């Protein structure tokens, strides 16, 4: 995404793309429905906890570890094979997201570095900082051309400036741009998809759209499928109004599906309490 030009609030300008206003309204209604559920008045902490688990499962599925929810719930060791390590990283990130809200608006790059540290769980030199020239990227599921380190640095700085400056853009638009930009850049040597989806979650929580983190977009992204996810990402990377609008709408649909998932959890708890 270009962050230059005369428009002082380029994120807000994206809200006028075809179909985006409808997506914003649809997301708001879906979120309001789950927040208005009667079980939320008494057991919101349980819904938040369950949403975090399901978010981690969904994000890991998009990064190649597509496990059944009960398997994620049952397992305690995530240090074995590659899929287990992906799942462990997703769970750590899901737990970490809520701890970084106060830092995000002041220092988003610091938050992104922290997310990569948490995901990688390693003290290697390349962990917790943007990749340098010549460093390879382990992100096999995203096969788009890889921007060079200089472009990554410039675009990360531009994205951070937009977040720090603030925007009147709807939360959906900001979250989608943060998510799409990080996937397009793949700024770290690993775990970029997991970090991008966690950053999207942080925006949705911090914006006030989903303050209790009960509408896990990661669930929706996984449900929509990897092929649809990557096709929508292609639209974002194209930079065209149609492509950008399609990516934002895709992210909106994912949030709606996450809200639907938590509504189902609320219904299950309500039946159990009856």
Over residues 160-216, the pLDDT tens digits come to 999 999 999 999 999 999 999 999 999 999 999 999 999 999 999 999 999 999 999
Per-residue confidence (pLDDT) for residue 7, from 0 to 100: 57
What is the band of 218 on the pLDDT scale with cuts at 50, 70, 90?
very high
Per-residue confidence (pLDDT) for residue 76, from 0 to 100: 84
Per-residue confidence (pLDDT) for residue 78, from 0 to 100: 87
Q: Is the pLDDT of residue 138 over 80?
A: yes
Q: Is the pLDDT of residue 4 over 70?
A: no
Structure tokens at 274: 């009856």
Strand partners of residue 138: 190
What is the band of 30 on the pLDDT scale with cuts at 50, 70, 90?
very high
Nearest C-alpha neighbor of 213 from the set 69, 22, 56 = 56
Average pLDDT, the chain: 94
Give the chain's largest Cα–Cα span: 60
Instruction: Tell me how far the alpha carbon of residue 30 is from its chain's centroid.
Output: 18
Q: What percentage of the chain carries pLDDT values higher than 90?
A: 89
Over range 131-152, report the average pLDDT. 94
Nearest C-alpha neighbor of 1 from the set 225, 247, 214, 269 = 247
Q: For 20, phi and psi rounded to 5 degrees?
A: -70, -40
Neighbours of 254 (CB within 10 A): 31
Q: For 138, phi and psi rounded to 5 degrees?
A: -95, 85
Structure tokens at 63: 């990064």
Q: Is the pLDDT of residue 79 over 90?
A: no
Q: Are 222 and 61 in contact (CB under 8 A)?
A: yes
Over range 33-49, report the average pLDDT. 95
CA distance 226 to 201: 18
Per-residue confidence (pLDDT) for residue 274, from 0 to 100: 43
Q: Is the pLDDT of residue 91 over 60?
A: yes
Q: Is the pLDDT of residue 1 over 70?
A: no
Per-residue confidence (pLDDT) for residue 140, from 0 to 100: 83
Q: Is the pLDDT of residue 80 over 90?
A: no
Evaluated on CA atoms 10, 16, 19, 20, the torsion sign reads positive
Over the range 173-207, which residues count as b (16 or more CB within 10 Å of their CB) and which as e?
A: bbbbbbbbbbbbbbbbbbbbbbbbbbbbbbbbbbb
The CA-atom distances, in angstroms, between 66 and each of 169, 189, 198 are 33, 22, 17
What is the band of 220 on the pLDDT scale with cuts at 50, 70, 90?
very high
Read off the pLDDT of residues 223-269 as tens digits, 9 standing for 90 and up.
999 999 999 999 999 999 999 999 999 999 999 999 999 999 999 99
């Amino acid at each position: 995404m270009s962050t230059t030009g005369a428009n002082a609030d380029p994120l807000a300008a994206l809200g006028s793309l075809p179909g985006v206003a409808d997506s914003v309204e649809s997301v708001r209604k879906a979120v309001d429905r789950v927040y208005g559920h009667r079980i939320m008045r008494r057991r919101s902490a349980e819904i938040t906890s369950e949403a975090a688990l399901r978010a981690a499962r969904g994000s890991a599925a998009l990064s190649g570890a597509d496990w059944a929810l009960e398997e994620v719930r049952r397992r305690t060791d995530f240090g074995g094979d590659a899929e287990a390590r992906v799942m462990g990283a997703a769970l750590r990130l899901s737990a970490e997201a809520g701890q970084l809200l106060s830092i995000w608006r002041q220092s988003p790059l610091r938050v992104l570095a922290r997310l990569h540290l948490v995901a990688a769980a390693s003290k290697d030199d390349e962990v917790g900082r943007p990749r340098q020239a010549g460093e390879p990227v382990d992100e096999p599921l995203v096969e788009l051309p890889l921007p060079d380190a200089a472009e990554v640095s410039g675009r990360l700085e531009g994205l951070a400036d937009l977040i720090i400056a603030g925007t009147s853009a709807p939360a959906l638009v900001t979250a989608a741009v943060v998510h799409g930009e990080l996937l397009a850049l793949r700024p770290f040597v690993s775990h970029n998809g997991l970090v991008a989806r966690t950053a999207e979650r942080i925006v949705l929580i911090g914006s006030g759209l989903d303050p209790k983190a009960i509408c896990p977009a990661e669930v929706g992204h996984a449900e929509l499928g990897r092929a649809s996810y990557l096709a929508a990402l292609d639209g974002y990377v194209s930079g065209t109004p149609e492509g950008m609008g399609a990516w934002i709408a895709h992210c909106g649909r994912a949030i709606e599906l996450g809200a639907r998932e938590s509504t189902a959890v609320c219904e299950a708890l309500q039946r159990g309490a009856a």
